[in-house]
Structure 1
């Protein structure tokens, strides 16, 4: 979250804490009065017309000095209270005007929210409208995290007039396989959580308009009161307390196997058309880390103009999707906090330099190396000096660089979707946990909570004789078979401490029938050995001398992902009677090796 600092005299005069996160009103100080203290002209509520006649509500903040200013546009579906966490005051102090616009169908904007479907057209219409306003000097930048970041990428590839810079924070690269699904598995926990949030806000918006929401509120409340039961509801389309308020829940499930739908709303193939500098910000424990990295790589290597390629910058900290304090699960990286590197100041400097037409003074890449607990500047991603090493999984549960034996035996386990492996941390966006705990919540968490489960294969190295830095993309390759018509394979990279703690670093999943991509489903032949590439996305982790590197393999991570029934049915149509156990085998011999590819960074 943003940490905004007010002048100490103002804090004393207005009884506002010197540093606060988001809600300025909590001490009786309104946003408007705070802006007036800064000498602005206050707040103006306006409506922005779209090409189809729909008007979108927006709030304009302007510096006290009259005339045109560069404008920062923020497009959000999250209503006014959540928008208070935006860095409006520092932007005004830098001479920007700020327009915070509510997306279609949210917080006073007309129309209906169909998640992501209208953000391209509405964003382009808004940019064109801003250019015609007397308070805009012809220069516009866009800013914001998550949905707000994706709204930027939805327009940047069109190279719209006036746009000078983008700052997409924790933003995915693709809606289908990156936001809704991950290598074919439904991102159940974050998907349901987001729809519960939006359903609650939709109820509030409708109440504010004087509508009777009693029936909808009762149905929503039944789901929200027991999310663990909702995760297990089958079919998932039966969650009408959510889909009746936010129809994208049902739409996404129904469109799983409809590439045309996803292509119509996607910006993935247009990103190379981006014609402005970009500052891409992400976290090692953010569920959209892969998207952030891919957005940076795609634009910095494929944009037409060399200055645009050079103008892309990347910052990755030890952060989750919504927390940049350095606290990530059961680990705390104090020097990794956003405040430690002045992230807000860096973002504003980037915006100011970009609208002025200057090359940014920021380093190309800034990464936090966990374990070493230091920030490091780099010139590219992945790092050019990477030593790509294969560490093989061995039948004795070992893990190392020694090649597998020709006759090494496979290891087997049974996956039962009635009793899935529970989510224990990771790059999640889920609240709560087992028995009222916090296990589902994001970050590095101790995997000993899963000790004793026989549906997890564990492969561990000997204690390291020297430090090993792993910085870059991580993949696990399995040769495996299943008795089912479909299944999942999961993999997790773990740092085992000398005291026994098993702290998760990064993880991934692949749905067997989508092993070649979601547009090319491949039937699973029960008993047949197939090759699976599991994308663990990336990390920057120093495994200390005396620690062990471990890889865990299983077939579920619930409720982060939906349970694979074994039937081969799309996620939204699985019924309770479809759930059936599957017998899994992971092959470890020379001709069918299984291994993790680690991006090892030489120490010298």
Structure 2
């Protein structure tokens, strides 16, 4: 850092109203040095309340020489207007940056910072190249609102979507009550819903969750817009990311539901930005973290030095921002990843890693998993394994990349991270493919996907895949998982109904990992057709998620093919051992 750190005794804070182009005024708190000389501004735009803002690094940013502005998004806390999730963040963010440039305590440089919604609000403006924007730090941010935030390869991310709306409904009702509004009846309906979240997850149609939608209409709107690509394109920043001109530090977690988005943001800008300077100044840090927990403890494992504190994450973020506004070369590596299993941080030059040995491990008709490709034979069409999927009795979520609190019967099974899958062993609607005992450590670091050849008796269905680390003591801990909705197998912009009984190829994106499968362990891939309530239940009818009723539920007979003509396999990014 180029300036001497000052004490905080000379710091002041004040409330400010920031006018938007349509006349709405957004509330902000300005923290700055009382001395008043112009400084770079660290802008945080948040839809959350003051209590959730207390964890922001305001004091460290002041010490690093910034003025800090924490602004409430439209329709939240003290800001005017109505909250329609993500719809106004681009124009409101651009108007706020323009306002900041006119303040006497601003030196004309603005950086942005924050996780999740706060990270997405940064990407919403960066592709518009606003004057004065110097750097961004999007943390656990998705790449696309439609197929990344609300849906994942076509399946509704029910747990996170309902969880977020539940949080924001509670905050919104609290804010209205503070303003003296009568919210008694709405609070009653809300408390009734949250007392029995298991029933709430199973409510059909999903639009019937009026305790949420009466307060936040975006819940219903998200469901209604499933088949309307124009809506998502209008509010999305996905196609504008390559116009980003500023340095960015992307931060994610191996067990974050937006890991796919974090990696896509990094690779899209670092490889495709129109600005050469922007391409060269993208940075990535991925730890063994969930969406909201960076302690190094996730699921049923503790990853030692994997905490944000151990890697000095906050210090790295502020150093990156300070170097960006100073115009000095950054001292941050391009990529920093935590390698689970080995439990070490490692610096890399790119993502995916250039030295990757891309391998296919095939699902075998006898339930095995190996690099051996199935040999052709006269019985190719008969080499499949089957199971029955009943949407009335879906496979329950057990850890993974979720944003759900709790679990059945007051447990913690829904919560994110590597959790033991043995509680599902009695289920017959999961196919398990297990590899041999490893004779040496095997590192898998990089993007993961499963190619599946499958058929269903239904008009539509889901296929899920999990990569699992089977320990010598029998524990089966989840590493990564994914899902694909059959009719969206070509993407949500290209829906394609399936013909019952017809074999189709499906690609299931499991995002990525960095995991050393230790000597004596085994790799396993589980295939099923549900992961509930992380995702909604596919009724088999082909209806949009918000229109499904219990009467639409159809039992499906599933076939997973494991033949030379129709192979199914997982793509593994294996990192060669240095000993070789």
Which range, TM-score by smaller chain? over 0.9
1:171 matched residue in structure 2: 141
Query: Aligned equivalents of 1:503 and 1:65: distance in 2?
Result: 55
Tell me if 1:260 matches 2:234: no
Write the deviation string for residues 169-227 of structure 1: whole angstroms up to 9, x where unpaired: 00000000000000000000010000000000000111111110011111111211111
1:598 to 543, 547, 572: 572
- Count the aligned residue pairs: 569
Write the deviation string for residues 358-389 of structure 1: whole angstroms up to 9, x where unpaired: 22110000000000000000000000111110
Where 1:463 maps in the other structure, the secondary structure is: coil
Query: Aligned equivalents of 1:63 and 1:318: distance in 2?
Result: 36
Tell me if 1:199 matches 2:169: yes
Query: Aligned equivalents of 2:152 and 2:324: distance in 1?
Result: 34
Deviation at 1:516, TM superposition (A): 0.3
1:189 to 155, 159, 163: 159
2:517 to 543, 549, 560: 543
Q: Is 276-285 or 404-413 further displaced after alignment?
A: 404-413
Tell me if 1:480 matches 2:450: no
Deviation at 1:390, TM superposition (A): 0.2
Deviation at 1:40, TM superposition (A): 3.2
Query: Aligned equivalents of 2:438 and 2:530: distance in 1?
Result: 29
Deviation at 1:580, TM superposition (A): 1.5
Q: Is 250-259 or 351-360 further displaced after alignment?
A: 351-360
Query: Aligned equivalents of 1:134 and 1:155: distance in 2?
Result: 23
2:3 matched residue in structure 1: none
Where 1:320 maps in the other structure, the secondary structure is: coil
Where 2:427 maps in the other structure, the secondary structure is: coil
2:316 to 346, 355, 366: 346
2:111 matched residue in structure 1: 141
Query: Aligned equivalents of 1:446 and 1:561: distance in 2?
Result: 19
Deviation at 1:467, TM superposition (A): 1.0
Contact 1:169 1:281 in 2 (8 A): yes
Where 2:560 maps in the other structure, the secondary structure is: strand
Query: Aligned equivalents of 2:273 and 2:510: distance in 1?
Result: 26
- Misfit runs of 4+, over 4 Å: none
Query: Aligned equivalents of 2:204 and 2:123: distance in 1?
Result: 34
Q: Is 214-223 or 323-332 further displaced after alignment?
A: 214-223
Deviation at 1:51, TM superposition (A): 0.1
User: In the TM superposition, what are the counterparts of 1:185-584 in structure 2 within 5 Å?
Assistant: 185-406=155-376, 407=379, 409-584=383-558
Query: Aligned equivalents of 1:594 and 1:256: distance in 2?
Result: 29
1:47 matched residue in structure 2: 17
2:50 matched residue in structure 1: 80
Contact 2:198 2:408 in 1 (8 A): no
1:122 matched residue in structure 2: 92
Query: Aligned equivalents of 2:10 and 2:190: distance in 1?
Result: 41
Where 1:435 maps in the other structure, the secondary structure is: helix
Contact 1:506 1:539 in 2 (8 A): yes
Query: Aligned equivalents of 1:225 and 1:379: distance in 2?
Result: 48
Contact 1:39 1:64 in 2 (8 A): no
Query: Aligned equivalents of 1:145 and 1:577: distance in 2?
Result: 40
Query: Aligned equivalents of 1:99 and 1:339: distance in 2?
Result: 24
1:30 matched residue in structure 2: none
Structure 2 alignment gaps of length 5 or more: 1-5
Query: Aligned equivalents of 1:124 and 1:305: distance in 2?
Result: 20
Where 1:569 maps in the other structure, the secondary structure is: coil
Write the deviation string for residues 487-541 of structure 1: whole angstroms up to 9, x where unpaired: 0000000000000000000000000000000000001100000000000000000
Write the deviation string for residues 387-437 of structure 1: whole angstroms up to 9, x where unpaired: 110000001110000111323520000000010000000000001112110
Deviation at 1:64, TM superposition (A): 3.5
Contact 2:468 2:523 in 1 (8 A): yes
Deviation at 1:544, TM superposition (A): 0.6
Tell me if 1:151 matches 2:121: yes
Deviation at 1:37, TM superposition (A): 7.8
Query: Aligned equivalents of 1:360 and 1:218: distance in 2?
Result: 53
Query: Aligned equivalents of 2:274 and 2:542: distance in 1?
Result: 42
Query: Aligned equivalents of 1:274 and 1:306: distance in 2?
Result: 10
2:78 matched residue in structure 1: 108
Query: Aligned equivalents of 2:34 and 2:257: distance in 1?
Result: 40
Query: Aligned equivalents of 1:135 and 1:207: distance in 2?
Result: 35
Where 2:288 maps in the other structure, the secondary structure is: strand
Where 2:254 maps in the other structure, the secondary structure is: strand
Structure 1 alignment gaps of length 5 or more: 1-35
Write the deviation string for residues 418-472 of structure 1: whole angstroms up to 9, x where unpaired: 1000000000000111211000000000000101100000000010111110000
Query: Aligned equivalents of 1:377 and 1:203: distance in 2?
Result: 45
Q: Is 319-328 or 398-407 further displaced after alignment?
A: 398-407
Deviation at 1:246, TM superposition (A): 0.9
Contact 1:311 1:359 in 2 (8 A): no
Query: Aligned equivalents of 1:492 and 1:302: distance in 2?
Result: 30
Contact 1:386 1:601 in 2 (8 A): yes
Where 2:33 maps in the other structure, the secondary structure is: coil
Deviation at 1:102, TM superposition (A): 0.1
1:59 matched residue in structure 2: 29
Deviation at 1:250, TM superposition (A): 0.2
Query: Aligned equivalents of 1:314 and 1:321: distance in 2?
Result: 16
Query: Aligned equivalents of 1:385 and 1:479: distance in 2?
Result: 29
Contact 2:7 2:63 in 1 (8 A): no
Query: Aligned equivalents of 2:34 and 2:25: distance in 1?
Result: 27
What do you get for the CA RMSD once the two structures are aligned? 0.9
Contact 2:244 2:275 in 1 (8 A): no
